[in-house]
Amino acid sequence: MESKRRDSDRRQFLKLAGASALGLWTAGCGWRGGPFEDVLQWWWNPNEVLQKALTTPRRSAKLYPPGSETATFPTYYISDSVPMTDTAAWRLDVGGMVGRPLSLSLDDLLKMPMTTTRVRHYCIEGWTGVAEWSGVQLSHLAEMVGVDPAVNYVDFRSFDDGYWSSWDRETALPPQTLITVGMNGALLDPGHGAPARLYSSLKYGYKSVKYLTEINFLSHRTGGYWEDRGYDWYAGL
């Protein structure tokens, strides 16, 4: 008799557990986190600590031989159509906490020492592609403008409908970070960020701001277009 009662208790418990699991599941569909969304967003902080321990910003990414460029490489912009500018009038302003701010034309950039690298590009969506990038090392520009020792962040702005991002100094200044003006052996095309874009294989693609207009060396952290909407700010690879 007693064991029968226990059995029905157990059945009831299992039914209840099953029903609540189903309820939670239904409520959970596509759930962004509700009241926990702030916690989830804040959690990028401990993730950043772990990422900094795991990543080595000075490490060179694996280099690919000529001819290994992937057949396609997606274009990326947030504007409704490909952002275009008058290249002759275009300027890249390099400033912030620097001794000698600069305003560079495309010709100015093209006259500087060029670095070419062929690396795999990682998109936060999960796809990759290999391309060859040519440009000026950001560290070269940093030397030219004389960066204040108190600078810890670099902020990048664009003419792509206000798209922007910012980086930690440790990842921005090693030699593989390029202000890119060429891709796959030609001048950068409008779909991929012409006249100049940021490129480094140590961050996900959304950190590499295309259609650059401004670079500012700062002591405080700013954010970014996607970062302010919920993406990882550090985004180190």
Nearer to another protein, 43 or 221 (CB): 43
CB of 31 to another protein, least distance (A): 6
189 lies in the binding site for another protein (CB under 8 A) = no
Sketch the per residue contact string, 48 through 87, with another protein: x for CB under 8 A, - otherwise.
---x--xxx--x-xx-------xxxxx-------------
16 lies in the binding site for another protein (CB under 8 A) = no
- Out of 23, 162, 185, 230, the residue judged to bind another protein by CB under 8 A: 230
Q: The dihedral of CA 82, 211, 180, 60: what is its sign?
A: negative
CB of 126 to another protein, least distance (A): 4
Judge whether 205 and 234 are in contact, CB under 8 Å. no
29 lies in the binding site for another protein (CB under 8 A) = yes
Nearer to another protein, 56 or 87 (CB): 56
Residue 88 identity (one-letter amino acid): A
Cβ partners under 8 Å of residue 158, min gap 6: 83, 164, 209, 210, 211, 212, 213
* Sites of contact with another protein (CB under 8 A): 3, 10, 14, 25-26, 28-33, 37, 39-41, 43-44, 46-47, 51, 54-56, 59, 61-62, 70-74, 120, 122-130, 201-202, 226, 229-232, 236-237
